[in-house]
C-alpha cells in the first residue's frame, strides 16, 4: 500500500495516541470526520494498522526487570520448532518470541518482578523446555520506540 | 519509583484492557462485573498515577513494503566517555530504526532496523549503520518470524 501525506500524519498521530478520537484527529488534519474515518478504515483493511497496544508502566505494576534472552536450540531436528514455540509462548512472563537467523534461534523478551524472580522463570520454566541449549541474557536498562520511516 | 498497590479490580481492568485496548467503558465494566462509573474512576486514577501511559497503534511494516527486519546487536567503545550519548543521538536520526534498547550484559545496544529488501538493507547498513559513532562491534540477526508479540504483562 502506498501512503500519501495525510495517511502518514494519521499513522504518526495514532502511533503516539491510538485513543485519539476521529473527531479530534479530523480537526487536526483539516479533514472532515467521515473522510478521516474512511482513511483509518482503509489503513486497517490493508493491514497497515494491525491493532492497538495498551502502554503500561511495567515498573509501577511490579515488573522491575526486563531481560532479552537469546536462545539456541541444542538438538535441532529432534525437537519440533512448533512444540518449542507453543511451550515458550505459553509462559506468561515471556512477552515476545521471535524466530531469528544468526547467533541464536530465538529472541525472547521476558519480564520479572526482580532478578531473583527472573532466575526462577529462567531455571524452572525456560531451561526445562526440551531442546534449549545456549542461553544469553541481557538485562534491559532503557528503551525507546521510534516512529519509523513514515 | 515505588510500586503502587493494585487490588483485584484494578488488575482485572488492566488484564481486560491489555487484551483489547479498544473496548468501550461499558463493555469493560461488564467484563469485570462493576458499574461503568466505578470502572471509569479506576481507569482515571491509574492514568493519573502513570500506570496506564496510553495506547498506541501497532503498524505492520511488512504491509508497507518493509520485508526485511534485522536486529543489530552493538558493542560500543567504552573508552570514549560520551560513547552512549553520541551513539544514541545518531541512531535516532536513522528513520528505519524502530526500537533502541540499552542493556547490561554482553551487548550494549540493540537496534531494530527495517528495510524494503536485501539491497535496501545493505545500503542502510553501509551508509547509516556502519557510520554510527563509537561502534566496536556489530552482530546482525535476521528476524524470520514473529511467534508472539502481544507484549502483555502477566498482571
Residues A37-96 have pLDDT tens digits of: 999 999 999 999 999 999 999 999 999 999 999 999 987 666 788 889 999 999 999 999
Closest residue in B to A137 (Cα–Cα): B105
Q: What is the pLDDT of residue A52?
A: 94
pLDDT in tens, A133-142: 999 999 999 9
pLDDT of residue A103: 87
How far apart CA A84 and CA A49 sit, in angstroms, is 29
Span B61-142: which CATH code?
3.30.70.920
Chain A residues in contact with B107 (beta carbon < 8 A) = 138
Q: In sequence order, what are the residues at sequence separation of 6 or more whose Cβ sits closer than 8 angstroms to the Cβ of residue B102?
A: A140, A141, A142, A143, B84, B88, B108, B109
- In chain B, what residues touch A106 (CB-CB under 8 Å)? 147
Q: Is A143 in contact with B145 (Cβ distance < 8 A)?
A: no
Amino acid B122: pLDDT: 97
Closest C-alpha to A62, from B80, B101, B155: B155
What is the number of alpha carbons within 13 Å of residue B71 lying toward its C-beta? 24
Q: How confident is the model at residue A35 (pLDDT cuts 50, 70, 90)?
A: very high
What is the percent of chain B where pLDDT is above 70? Answer: 97
C-alpha cell at B137: 562491534
Q: Does domain A65-139 have CATH number 2.40.30.40?
A: no
ipTM of the complex: 0.92
DSSP annotation of B5: P
Specify the pLDDT at position B2.
57
Whether B3 has a pLDDT exceeding 70, the answer reads no
Q: What is the pLDDT of residue A80?
A: 83
Question: What tens digit of pLDDT does each residue of B49-85 get?
Answer: 999 999 999 999 999 999 999 999 999 998 999 999 9
Domain A5-45 identical in fold to domain A65-139: no
User: What pLDDT sits at residue A79?
Assistant: 72
Q: Does A3 touch chain B (CB under 8 A)?
A: yes
pLDDT tens, residue by residue, A85-135: 999 999 999 999 999 998 899 999 999 999 999 999 999 999 999 889 999
- Please tell me whether residue A11 adopts helix, strand or coil conformation: helix
Task: Find chain A residues with C-beta within 8 A of B148's C-beta.
Answer: 85, 88-89, 94-97
- Cβ contact A50–B145 (<8 Å): no
Domain locations in chain B as residue ranges: 8-48, 61-142
* Residue found by looking up cell 531455571 in the block: A123
| CB of A33 closer than 8 Å to CB of A47 | no
Residue spans of the domains in chain A: they are 5-45, 65-139
CATH 1.10.10.10 is right for the domain spanning A5-45: yes
A40 vs B150: which has the higher pLDDT: A40
Confidence band (pLDDT; 50, 70, 90) for B43?
A: very high
DSSP A102: S
A47:B63 CB<8 A: yes
- Are the beta carbons of B115 and B121 closer than 8 angstroms? yes
Q: What is the pLDDT of residue A130?
A: 86
Chain A, window 31-70: residues with a beta carbon less than 8 angstroms from a chain B beta carbon: 46-64, 68
Instruction: Kindly give the interhelix angle for A5-16 and A33-45, rounded to the nearest 10 degrees.
Output: 80
How far away is chain A from the Cα of B153, in angstroms, using its nearest Cα? 7
Q: Min CA distance, B142 vs chain A (Å)? A: 5
Which of the listed CATH numbers 1.10.575, 1.20.1740, 2.60.120, 1.10.10 matches domain B8-48? Answer: 1.10.10
Residues in B 6-65 with any Cβ partner in A closer than 8 A: 6, 14, 17-18, 21-22, 49-61, 63-65
Backbone angles phi, psi at A16, to 5 degrees: -80, -40
The one-character DSSP state at A125 is: I
Amino acid at each position: 500500500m502506498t501512503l500519501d501525506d495525510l495517511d502518514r500524519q494519521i499513522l504518526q498521530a495514532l502511533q503516539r495516541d491510538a485513543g485519539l478520537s476521529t473527531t479530534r484527529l479530523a480537526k487536526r488534519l483539516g479533514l472532515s470526520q467521515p473522510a478521516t474515518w474512511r482513511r483509518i478504515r482503509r489503513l486497517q483493511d490493508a493491514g497497515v494498522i494491525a491493532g492497538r497496544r495498551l502502554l503500561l508502566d511495567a515498573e509501577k505494576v511490579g515488573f522491575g526487570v526486563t531481560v532479552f534472552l537469546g536462545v539456541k536450540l541444542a538438538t535441532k531436528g529432534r525437537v519440533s520448532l512448533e512444540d518449542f514455540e507453543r511451550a515458550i509462548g505459553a509462559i506468561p512472563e515471556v512477552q515476545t518470541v521471535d524466530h531469528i537467523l544468526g547467533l541464536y534461534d530465538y529472541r525472547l523478551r521476558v519480564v520479572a518482578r526482580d532478578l531473583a524472580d527472573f532466575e526462577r522463570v529462567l531455571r524452572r520454566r525456560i531451561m526445562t523446555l526440551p531442546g534449549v541449549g545456549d542461553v544469553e541474557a541481557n538485562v534491559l536498562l532503557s528503551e525507546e520506540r521510534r516512529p519509523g520511516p513514515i | 519509583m515505588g510500586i503502587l498497590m493494585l487490588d483485584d479490580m484494578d488488575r482485572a481492568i488492566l488484564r481486560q484492557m491489555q487484551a483489547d485496548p479498544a473496548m468501550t467503558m461499558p463493555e469493560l465494566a461488564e467484563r469485570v462485573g462493576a458499574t461503568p462509573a466505578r470502572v471509569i474512576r479506576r481507569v482515571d486514577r491509574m492514568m493519573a498515577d502513570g500506570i496506564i501511559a496510553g495506547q498506541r497503534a501497532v503498524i505492520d511494516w511488512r504491509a508497507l513494503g518493509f520485508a526485511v527486519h534485522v536486529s543489530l546487536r552493538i558493542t560500543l567503545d567504552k573508552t570514549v566517555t560520551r560513547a552512549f550519548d553520541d551513539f544514541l543521538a545518531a541512531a535516532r536520526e536513522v528513520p528505519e530504526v524502530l526500537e533502541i534498547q540499552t542493556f547490561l550484559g554482553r551487548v550494549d545496544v540493540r537496534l531494530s532496523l527495517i528495510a524494503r529488501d536485501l539491497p535496501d538493507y545493505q545500503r542502510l547498513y553501509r551508509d547509516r549503520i556502519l557510520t554510527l559513532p563509537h561502534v566496536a562491534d556489530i552482530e546482525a540477526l535476521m528476524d524470520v518470524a514473529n511467534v508472539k508479540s502481544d507484549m502483555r504483562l502477566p498482571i
